Amino acid sequence: MIYHLSLQTAGYLAGLFLSLFGLWGLVRPGASQTAARSLPRSRVAGFVLLTVAFFWSFWLLATMEMGEFSAFRKPLLFILPVGFLLVLRFVDEFLAARALGILFLLAAEPLLDAAFFRNESSRLFVTVFAYLLIVAGLFWVTMPYLLRDQINWSSRTNGRWRFTHGLAFLYGAALLACAVTQY
């Protein structure tokens, strides 16, 4: 265990994230659609998200138990910043979508770790959310144009936009309710 995150804390964090995300899309649909449409190709957002992912990955690599692969720690600690700088320099297309996918992949592990070996059936809310993050992250890292297409599809009509953000809000509220009552 690297994160030492309880299931209740994981439920609070995931529920708060989803609830705020859903609420933003429901309350301010115009502003959230504009921000969402510009996100995949935003150079500034890509830099910020990739920098967060870099520091998170660097911290993980420096502190995690690697077992028989511990001899690779120093070369990887050197390669990771070099790779980060090379990606910033040469990967212009959909950098924010790729970085968001990396962050989703990094965020799934503490959620799964918190739900591991728990008996409550409501832990599946956290587990399902973590696996949705993994699937979305894998697609957005390897095929980042899909994020653009998904945003364009959901923002084509206000009804779709409100429906998708309403689902996110309801799922977040369910996670928060489980974190308060079950975990």
Spatial separation of the C-alpha atoms in residues 30 and 13, rounded to whole Å? 26
Q: Is a pLDDT exceeding 80 seen at residue 111?
A: yes
CB 62 within 8 A of CB 99: no
Three-point CA angle 29, 141, 175, nearest 5°: 50
What does the pLDDT look like over 68-88, one tens digit per residue? 888 888 999 999 999 999 998
Spatial separation of the C-alpha atoms in residues 48 and 1, rounded to whole Å? 27
pLDDT-based confidence at residue 12 (cuts at 50, 70, 90): very high
The answer to whether the predicted template modeling score (pTM) of the entire model surpasses 0.95 is no
Spatial separation of the C-alpha atoms in residues 106 and 163, rounded to whole Å? 27
Spatial separation of the C-alpha atoms in residues 174 and 110, rounded to whole Å? 19
Average pLDDT of the residues in 143-163 = 93
Q: Is a pLDDT exceeding 90 seen at residue 8?
A: no
pLDDT-based confidence at residue 1 (cuts at 50, 70, 90): low
